[in-house]
């Protein structure tokens, strides 16, 4: 099996996989684990990440060994799938008549004008400025309380989750979500105070425990109507929801009132049908509770962004989820980060949490 694993790694590398062998092994193990959970219907809610923390520590000790959850059948299916993808027919070279060339030239000029009027944002940097990098190193050494934001706080144990190859816990994700919520509320009081591209939507963030209660107990039994006693979610632009899949994986979901969409963003591209179904049920129950009539789903769609960035290891799902939620809170329609940006984004999140504010990227 070790030989097959290396063969699969080389096939994936030839197809564009960029991370190292250890990261690939962790990704394969993660995929196999999620496949087994999905087949057995084991994706169920949990009120905390105690199991996740324990599993992360086990993975840390075994990171350089053969993946625990990868058996011969799974490996052969993965090799066959990768080989089939490489052998697939290449698209023919397009025939471009003279008229099409003229049209494309005109489009290129239009794009050039658009770029001058509204220049595209630059790629993310690879590191923070030197002084901020030194501050992040100092924060990793600090003990005790790191930061507070409303009712959320982060300790040294929590902030260590942002070191390389660590899984994020509820505290980090909820602190980041509270920062998103605070920014949205601040924006309502000070419109236009921030750069245009970072202008937040009228967003609401539900903590990581919302999904666990909704899936585990249901709307009535979990008394989720009290969560929005002082909030009219139907007046919001977007509702942001971190999703904890059985303490094995993080993904992001959103109820987008502006676009009439139930949205799912998953760095492992897991099947989102249960997410859509659960959130539609919640939306209807909440509308019945607050408006005393069923929610009108006319024109609403279930939405998965086909170019959602994908992770290449078994531990960055929480960072992807935080970045999905932050971008969605500003109305972003796509994402400017990839797996290659994760080391930078982890350190940026440390700085942002410590300062309880987001950095303004160019």
46: left (phi over 0), alpha (psi -120 to 50) or beta: beta
Distance from C-alpha of 182 to C-alpha of 184, rounded to nearest angstrom: 5
- 22: nearest Cα among 80, 64, 68, 76: 64
Q: Where are the beta strands (DSSP E) in 161-273?
A: 203-205, 238-245, 249-256, 261-265
Please state, as a whole number, how many other Cβ atoms lie within 10 Å of the Cβ of residue 250.
28
Q: Characterize the bridge pairing of strands 249-256 and 261-265.
A: antiparallel
Q: Which of 249, 236, 285, 327 is nearest to 30 (CA)?
A: 249
Rounded CA-CA distance 12/225 in Å is 47
d(CA 195, CA 192): 7
Angle at 300 between CA 226 and CA 324, to 5 degrees: 70
Which member of 317, 322, 334, 355 is catalytic?
317
Known active-site residue 245: no
CA dihedral 271, 272, 275, 280 (to 10 degrees): -130
Query: 10 catalytic, yes or no?
Result: no
Find the angle CA(302)-CA(201)-CA(192) to the nearest 5 degrees. Answer: 155
Going by C-beta distance under 8 Å and a sequence separation of 6 or more, which residues neighbour residue 80? none
State the catalytic residue, choosing from 29, 59, 158, 266: 266
> Cα(343)–Cα(340) distance, rounded to whole angstroms?
7
Among residues 158, 249, 316, 322, the one annotated as catalytic is 249
Please say if 110 is a catalytic residue.
no
Rg (the chain; Cα; Å) = 22
Task: Determine the Cα–Cα distance for residues 244 and 240; give it in Å rounded to an integer.
Answer: 13
For residue 229, give the DSSP letter.
Answer: T
Give the residue numbers marked as catalytic: 249, 266, 317
């Amino acid at each position: 099996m070790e030989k097959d694993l290396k063969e699969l790694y080389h096939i994936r590398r030839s197809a564009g996989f960029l991370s190292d062998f250890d990261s690939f092994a962790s990704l394969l193990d993660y995929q196999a684990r999620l496949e087994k959970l999905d087949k057995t219907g084991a994706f169920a809610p949990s009120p905390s990440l105690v199991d996740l923390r324990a599993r992360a520590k086990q993975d840390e000790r075994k990171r350089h060994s053969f993946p625990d959850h990868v058996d011969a059948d799974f490996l052969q299916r993965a090799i066959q799938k990768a080989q089939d993808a490489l052998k697939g027919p290449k698209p023919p070279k397009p025939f471009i008549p003279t008229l099409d060339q003229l049209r494309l030239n005109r489009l290129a000029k239009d794009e050039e004008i658009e770029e001058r009027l509204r220049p595209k944002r630059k790629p993310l940097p690879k590191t923070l400025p030197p002084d901020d990098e030194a501050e992040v190193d100092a924060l990793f050494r600090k003990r005790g309380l790191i930061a507070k934001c409303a009712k959320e706080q982060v300790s040294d144990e929590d902030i260590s989750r942002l070191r390389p190859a660590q899984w994020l816990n509820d505290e980090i994700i909820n602190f980041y979500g509270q920062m998103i919520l605070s920014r949205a509320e601040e924006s309502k009081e000070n419109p236009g105070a921030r750069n245009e591209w970072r202008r937040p939507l009228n967003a609401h963030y539900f903590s990581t425990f919302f999904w666990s209660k909704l899936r585990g107990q249901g709307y009535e039994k979990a008394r989720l109507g009290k969560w929005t006693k002082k909030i009219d979610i139907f007046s919001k632009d977007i509702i942001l929801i971190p999703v904890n899949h059985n303490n094995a994986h993080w993904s992001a979901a959103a109820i987008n009132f502006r676009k009439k969409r139930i949205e799912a963003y998953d760095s492992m591209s897991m099947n989102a049908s249960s997410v859509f179904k659960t959130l539609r049920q919640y939306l209807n129950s909440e509308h019945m509770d607050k408006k005393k009539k069923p929610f009108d789903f006319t024109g609403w769609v279930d939405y998965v962004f086909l170019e959602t960035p994908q992770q290449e290891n078994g531990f960055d799902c929480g960072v992807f989820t935080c970045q999905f939620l932050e971008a969605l809170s500003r109305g972003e329609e796509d994402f400017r980060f990839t797996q290659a940006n994760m080391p930078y984004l982890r350190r940026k999140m440390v700085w942002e949490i410590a300062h309880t504010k987001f950095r303004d990227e160019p």
